[in-house]
Amino acid sequence: MTAVRRLYEVSARMGAGRSLAETLQAVVDGVVDGLGFGIAVLNLRHADGKFEVIAVAGSPEAKQALLGTVSAADIFDAEFDIADKWGALRFVPHERLPEGEVVGWVPEIPVSTEPDAWHPLDALFAPLNSPDGELLGMLSVDLPEDQRRPGSIHRELLEIFATQAGLAIDKARLTDQLLAEKARLEASETTFRLVFEGAGNGMATIAFDGPEAGRVVRVNHAFCRITGYTPNQLIGTILVDYLRDEDLGQTHREIELLRAGHGPYRFERTFRRTDGNDIWLGGTAAIVDQGKDQPRIVLIQIDDVTARKDAERELQHHAAHDPLTGLPNRRLLQHRFNSALQRSRQTGRRGVLLFCDLNHFKQVNDEYGHEAGDRALREIADRLLTEVRHGDTVARLGGDEFAILAEDIDGDALDLLMRRIDESISRPLDGIDVPVTASIGTAVVSPYAADLEELLRTADNAMYEAKRRHRLKN
């Protein structure tokens, strides 16, 4: 979750660059500041296909050695031929490099013998593409902070960041072109209209002053394509009527930031399309002074970022849930326990943490195989969700161990809950003859509770004591 928050922060900074040069530097700074790599290098692709190192972050030595170097258009082809494909990323392990002189700058770090350790000659690349697939440049990263080859979550974060970086670079490039044209031709209406209508991302102008303030003045074709509205449906309407505030007063605060000169202002907002579906728009807003005695307008640039937002939500879900059963994992259980403990300290009401261990489950895997065991775990997870109260949390701790967090529960309700869980799990599993049962231990969540791990140990010990008493009785 921390990594996802860092990704949000550096992405916002990256998208706020006023020029292409600022945006390129924000990209490499974002990799070093937010994604856990010690060095980032950005090769920008020129119109002739050659690559030039435009921005470097993380190492003054690397910056001195690489900044401004120009390479041939096929500079990456040989390395990519021997690279591993990690989604859109390309990883070149050092052991596949041909013997001979090393090209480029190599960090001076110790060589570890650990199997997944990062080697000084390892290389990881992320292509940067525009929304229409044009290759804009190549981002290379080095020196991961944990000194190991990135895992799947780390790779997904880098891939999402590279996608956003491509969009930001494309927008900055377009912004630079717009500003250059404005300076060269004194922002002539003809030039502006050509760029405005031909832009690949959605653009609109909004009246900022006078009685028409807030109303749409002009939209381009891409804006209509993204939002689903025709120009006639949009022009003259209040744009904020289509937006949904994530919190009270969001639109007012954003307008005041623009009024105070904090622009271009970067935003991400939910927009209601003509078909009734909500999409996520990401873009920038900046006030444009049209000259003496002319009302100011706001220039809006947008893209549909719904796919990225969905990917981010999926990443958040994976980071907090067990991949087999879909139940909350230990990390999410910790978060909900912290909230429950805070509420207990505010109200004085107590809750219970149940530790549930399955008996004879190893026999299921031994006799029926792990695939059947996985199906059985999913079935048991579904049963647990059916038996608990609304608001209770069922989490999988790993293997055949589950935890249940039940807030504000008295003795009778707890006895009933434990009986329902025991009876539910003891029912025969689909296609399995092994009599799986549950052993349950409890620990009280009171205002004086210390932490989750201590309560889990208490509940675990109580569970083993219950098992011992059961064996003595039999």
What's 282's domain CATH number? 3.30.450.20
Residues in the chain: 474
Q: Is residue 178 part of a domain?
A: no
Residue 195 in contact with residue 221, Cβ under 8 Å? no
Q: Is residue 249 scored above 70 in pLDDT?
A: no
Q: Is residue 347 part of a domain?
A: yes
Tell me: do 265 and 393 sit in the same domain. Answer: no
Q: Provide the CATH number for the domain around residue 56.
A: 3.30.450.40
| Nearest residue to 129 via CA among 169, 75, 92, 86 | 169
Q: What is the pLDDT of residue 3?
A: 47
Rounded Cα distance, 95 and 199, in Å? 45
Q: Which domain holds residue 8?
A: 2-173
Per-residue pLDDT of 392-411, as tens digits, reads 999 999 899 999 999 988 88
**In what helix (H) or strand (E) does residue 384 lie, and over which residues does it extend?**
helix 370-387
Tell me: do 121 and 248 sit in the same domain. Answer: no
Q: Is residue 302 scored above 70 in pLDDT?
A: yes
Q: Is residue 147 part of a domain?
A: yes
Domain count along the chain = 3
Q: What is the pLDDT of residue 1?
A: 45
| Nearest residue to 425 via CA among 379, 389, 374 | 379
Q: What is the pLDDT of residue 127?
A: 94
Tell me: do 97 and 220 sit in the same domain. Answer: no
Tell me: do 326 and 461 sit in the same domain. Answer: yes
From 173, 205, 231, the end of a domain falls on 173
Tell me: do 22 and 152 sit in the same domain. Answer: yes
Q: Is residue 140 scored above 90 in pLDDT?
A: yes
From 310, 330, 363, the end of a domain falls on 310
b/e code 58-88 from CB counts within 10 Å (16+ = b):
bbeebbeebeeeeeeeebbeebeeebeebeb
What pTM, to 2 d.p., does this model score?
0.45
From 277, 310, 343, the end of a domain falls on 310
Q: Is residue 10 scored above 60 in pLDDT?
A: no
Mean pLDDT, residues 404-426 taken together: 91
Question: What residues have CB less than 8 Å from 277, skipping those under 6 apart?
Answer: none
Of the ranges 88-102, 157-171, 432-446, which one carries the lowest mean pLDDT score? 88-102
Mean pLDDT, residues 332-350 taken together: 89
Q: What is the pLDDT of residue 472?
A: 55
Tell me: do 369 and 395 sit in the same domain. Answer: yes
- Coil, strand, or helix at residue 43? strand
Residue 356's pLDDT band, with cuts at 50, 70 and 90, is very high
Q: How far is CA 201 from CA 222, 227, 284, in A?
A: 6, 12, 11
Percent of the chain topping pLDDT 70: 87
Q: Is residue 181 part of a domain?
A: no
Strand ranges across the sheet with 89-92: 70-71, 51-57, 37-45, 135-144, 123-129, 89-92, 84-86
Residue 380's pLDDT band, with cuts at 50, 70 and 90, is very high
Mean pLDDT, residues 29-46 taken together: 90
Tell me: do 7 and 152 sit in the same domain. Answer: yes
Tell me: do 462 and 334 sit in the same domain. Answer: yes
The rounded mean pLDDT for the chain is 84
Per-residue pLDDT of 65-103, as tens digits, reads 899 999 999 988 888 999 999 999 999 998 888 876 566
Q: Provide the CATH number for the domain around residue 467.
A: 3.30.70.270
Per-residue pLDDT of 53-68, as tens digits, reads 999 998 899 899 899 9
Q: What is the pLDDT of residue 26?
A: 87
Q: What is the pLDDT of residue 379?
A: 93
Tell me: do 110 and 29 sit in the same domain. Answer: yes
Residue 183's pLDDT band, with cuts at 50, 70 and 90, is low
Per-residue pLDDT of 253-297, as tens digits, reads 777 777 776 667 778 888 888 877 888 888 888 887 776 677 788
- Tracing tokens 């390395």 back to the chain, one arrives at 79
Q: Is residue 379 part of a domain?
A: yes
Cis peptide before 264 (omega within 30 of 0): yes
Q: Is residue 166 scored above 60 in pLDDT?
A: yes
Q: Is residue 202 scored above 70 in pLDDT?
A: yes
Q: Is residue 345 part of a domain?
A: yes
Q: What is the pLDDT of residue 187?
A: 46
Q: Is residue 29 scored above 50 in pLDDT?
A: yes
Tell me: do 306 and 335 sit in the same domain. Answer: no
Tell me: do 63 and 194 sit in the same domain. Answer: no
Highest mean pLDDT among 104-108, 219-223, 466-470: 219-223
Tell me: do 454 and 409 sit in the same domain. Answer: yes
Mean pLDDT, residues 409-437 taken together: 90
